[in-house]
Structure 1
Amino acid sequence: MFVRAVFDGDLMARLIPVDEADSLAVVARTVADQAIGVTVPPRDRPIGVWHNDNLLDQQNTVRSAGITPMDVVRVAYV
Structure 2
Amino acid sequence: METVIMKPEALLELAAARMPFGKYEGWRLIDLPEPYVVWFAGKGFPEGKLGRLLQAVHEIKVNGLEYLFDPLR
Fold match (TM-score > 0.5) = no
TM-score, normalised by the number of residues in structure 1: 0.24
Greater fraction of residues in helix: 2
TM-score, normalised by the number of residues in structure 2: 0.25
Greater fraction of residues in strand: 1
